[in-house]
Every structure is written in C-alpha cells, then in structure tokens.
Structure 1
Amino acid sequence: MTIRLSREEFVARLRELPPGGRRLVAVAGPPGAGKSTLADWLASELDRASPGRAAVLPMDGFHFDDMVLEARGDRPRKGAPHTFDTGGLTATLKRLVENPRGEIAVPVFDRAIEIARAGARIIGPDVETIVVEGNYLLLDDPAWSPMRAFFDVTAFIDVPEATLRERLAARWVGYGLAEEALDAKLEGNDFPNMRTVIADSVPADFAIVEELPAKHRREP
C-alpha cells in the first residue's frame, strides 16, 4: 500500500532506516514533477547528519547519444522510454549494490548541451544512500522492470497533470521555443511521456505530495 506524505516526512523515514550497508532509493515521477530538485534536496538533508554519505544517480545520464537517436530515427522522441540505455543503467545499479567498497564513475546529463557526460560523477565507498531519480524507474515494462530488484525504497512524486503541463511549457519557453516548435515538443514528446509514466508505473512505497497538510494525509 502506497503511503502519501510530504518530502519532509519522507526524508524523516529515510533517516529512520537501520544503519549499515548501502541502500538505493528510487525517486520516480513524470516529466516536470521536480525529481532532480527533490533528489538533490534529499541527498543534502541526509548529508547534514553524515556528510558524504549520500549521492544522487540521475537516470538522464543514460540517454542514448544524439548520433544513435538520429540513426534510429528517434531524435524527436528523445526522453521517451526507448531512448535510454536501460541495460547500462541496470548494470550500474547492480555494480553499485554488489561493489559497495569500490569507487564507481557514473554519467550525468548536461542539459545545456543535451549530452550525457561519461564519468562525470564518482560514487565512492563512503556513500551509504544513493538517490536514483528518473521518469521511468517504476515503469511496468520489460526493459525497465529489472531495475526494481535493486531498490530498497521507492517513491513517486504526485503532481497534478495541469501543473505538469504548465511546468513543461515554461521549461521549453525558457529554452527559446515558441508556437509551432513548442507545440511539437510538448504534444509530440513531453505530454505522451508524462501520460506513460502516470499510467504505466507500478505503485511505489511512498507517494510524495507537495504541501500535504497532515489532516488530509491518507493511505489509498
């Protein structure tokens, strides 16, 4: 049963987990939900008590390069589930779990140039909690489902669809898109991806709701 709670309550739950060993926390949600912001906040909050003990692994680092997408005719759908190296991400999760004493380099997506930088972040042996964030981490799909075996805790960011649409539109306006180009980006890619995540993700352990008053909290 999914438990609905605020981000402050969620990080409190993570702090209460038994010490020792390494744990992977999946933070999933549709485009525009604020996954990267939440993941960075969670890691910083966990680090306040134990500096250097938390790190973030972004799913976006495993984008196929534009050269691959162009060759496959998938460039307009960049960001859709089939445009990621799911095997590479699964192998990285496995490596992080099975080799906790190692120093492991992971890729990070550079949104300014739309390219993943290989080896851009190091997750070392002192890291006990890895916050893995991305749209499709809980997707009920053969390419994505094997990843769930490596997650100790799963969370899904619950944001109203109308809010997501506003945020996605504002994001691309900020990158200079307008009118037909903006509509093509949203209707041809972002909104279909958003609907896929909402409709086809398996239930998470926790649903994180923005500004959830205690009196309205419930377990569906």
Structure 2
Amino acid sequence: MCGTGGSSEGRLHTQDAELEIANLMERARRLVEDGRRAFLGIVGLPGSGKSTLAERLLAELSGTPPEGHEAGEWVAHLPMDGFHLATAELARLGLSSRRGAPDTFDAAGYVALLRRLAADTAEVVYAPSFERSRGEPLAGRIAVTPAARLIITEGNYLLVDDPAWLPLRTVLDEVWFCATDDQRRRRQLIARHVAFGKTEAAAEAWADGVDQANCAIISRTSHLADLVVSEDVMSSLLLIAADA
C-alpha cells in the first residue's frame, strides 16, 4: 500500500497515483465532449473502493466542468446500491442470507432508470439511494437535473453476462474496473460490516462467504472493462479518504 507521507519513496508513490487520478478526471470530462448526456460505470469487488472513486470524481469534476458546461449539477452520482431489494422482500423471497448477490437487486428497475436518463428530457429524474445505516434502499433521494451531462454510476454487476444486467452495456459509454489488494479489501469489508452492526465473527463469516461468492462473479468480468484503475491508485484514494 502506498503511503501519504514518511519516506521519499512513499511520497513519490502517492504523487504518481495523484497524476493518474488527474488523468482519470480528464478522461471522464472527454465523455461529454459532444454535448450529449454520457454514462460512466465504475465496477469492482465488494470493498474495492468503487464509491470512494465515484465520490472523488464527483467532488473534483463538479467544480471543474468542461468548456460550455456550468459548475455543479453537470455531473451526478447514481449508485446501483439504491436498487437493493428491501429487507422485507428479501425475507419473502428467502434471499436474506444472500443479500448482495445479483438476484437480490432490482436489475430491471436500474436499467429502466438509466434508459430514462439516457432519453435526456427536460425533467428532473429521481433515483433511489441506499441507507447503509438502516440497510434499506431509500426512494427518491437523488435528484438528477436536466443540467447533468455526466452520470457516474457504480456497482458490482455492471459487466455481468446475465440477461438481467446485459442491457446496461447499451447505456454505459465507458466502464472502469477498480483493481484491489485482496487482503486490504477483506479488512475493509469486515470493518464495514462491524460498523453497521455485525459482530467480528459474523463480519468475517459474511466477508468470506457471501461477499467472496459475489467476488468470484465480478472477477470474471474485469476483462470487459474499458479501463482498469490500478491497485496503487485505489489504495491512494482510500488512504486520502481515510485521512479526510
């Protein structure tokens, strides 16, 4: 893992990662050069830092729009997590023990919303978010205005070769895959599960069971991505976010 200070080697490592991050920002801006609404997908294993990358892109791009676009609402963040099935519905379907697997999301609803956004009408489109502290999706939390030219959407299954998810590829202009160090990713996952109520033992069991099964599905899709964001860049982003 790269450092945020200390040795000159660590500082150089971080500087190199920051240069790569700047290149990612420029690549994202280029997606809207023709003026139409564009879609950038970010995919990776659970705990790889997808949300961290998406939030960094949103924070920096919002204030530095391409020529001809206004700062602020020209970029929007739409996580796939908002399309988790509700806890009660998972229980009804007998899927509670597999929460986070591909069939525990409303994939059709996610695709439909992205297609609605791709129509690029003069209306505000409302999208759901995921309230992690409650473990529930929250309807209408995200407002995407007509000014939004770049939609950043992140989730696990954007490239999965499954009829429910395949239509996403007709909407997404680019998909970036977040590479990750497995040991760091596992620690991140366990810490997240503990933070939201699981015991240490239960968190480890979930990370090594349900999460790992999902990782196997997602890993097989990495070759389909337009770009792989390196482990160094992802580690640097996570360290910066942790220090913020």
Q: What TM-score, normalized by structure 2, do the two folds share?
A: 0.80
Answer whether contact 1:159 1:210 (CA < 8 A) is retained: yes
The answer to whether the aligner puts 1:155 opposite 2:180 as a matched pair is: no
The answer to whether the aligner puts 1:42 opposite 2:45 as a matched pair is: no
Deviation >6 Å, runs of 4+: none
* 1:99 counterpart (107, 115, 120): 120
Per-residue deviation, 1:179: 4.7
The answer to whether the aligner puts 1:141 opposite 2:162 as a matched pair is: yes
Answer whether contact 1:154 1:204 (CA < 8 A) is retained: yes
Answer whether contact 1:7 1:208 (CA < 8 A) is retained: no
Answer whether contact 1:140 1:201 (CA < 8 A) is retained: no
* 1:175 counterpart (189, 196, 217): 196
SS of corresponding position for 2:191: helix
* 1:56 counterpart (71, 77, 86): 77
User: Any gaps of 5 or more consecutive residues in structure 1?
Assistant: 213-220
Per mean C-alpha deviation after superposition, the further-off stretch among 126-135 and 175-184 is 175-184
The answer to whether the aligner puts 1:9 opposite 2:23 as a matched pair is: yes
Which is bigger in relative contact order (C-alpha 8 A, separation at least 6)? 1
Per-residue deviation, 1:90: 0.5
Equivalent in the alignment of 1:32: 47
Per-residue deviation, 1:143: 1.2
**1:182 counterpart letter in structure 2:** A
More helix by share: 2
Answer whether contact 2:133 2:196 (CA < 8 A) is retained: no
Q: Deviation per CA, 1:137-160: give whole Å up to 9, x if none.
A: 111222111111001111111112
**1:28 counterpart letter in structure 2:** V
Per mean C-alpha deviation after superposition, the further-off stretch among 144-153 and 199-208 is 199-208
Q: How far apart, CA to CA, are the structure 1 residues paired with 2:201 and 2:180?
A: 26
Query: For 1:80-91, what aligned pairs fall within 5 Å after superposition?
Result: 80-91=101-112
Q: How far apart, CA to CA, are the structure 1 residues paired with 2:95 and 2:222?
A: 22
Q: Percent identity?
A: 38
Answer whether contact 2:194 2:200 (CA < 8 A) is retained: no
Equivalent in the alignment of 2:149: 128
Per-residue deviation, 1:199: 2.0
Answer whether contact 1:6 1:209 (CA < 8 A) is retained: no
Q: Deviation per CA, 1:161-207: give whole Å up to 9, x if none.
A: 22221211222233343354223322231111122211245521111
SS of corresponding position for 1:154: strand
Q: Structure 1 176/71 Cα, relative in aligned 2: closer, same or farther at 3 Å?
A: closer
Q: How far apart, CA to CA, are the structure 1 residues paired with 2:109 and 2:60?
A: 28
Q: Deviation per CA, 1:52-74: give whole Å up to 9, x if none.
A: 21000000000011111101110
User: What is the alpha-carbon root mean square deviation over aligned residues?
Assistant: 1.7
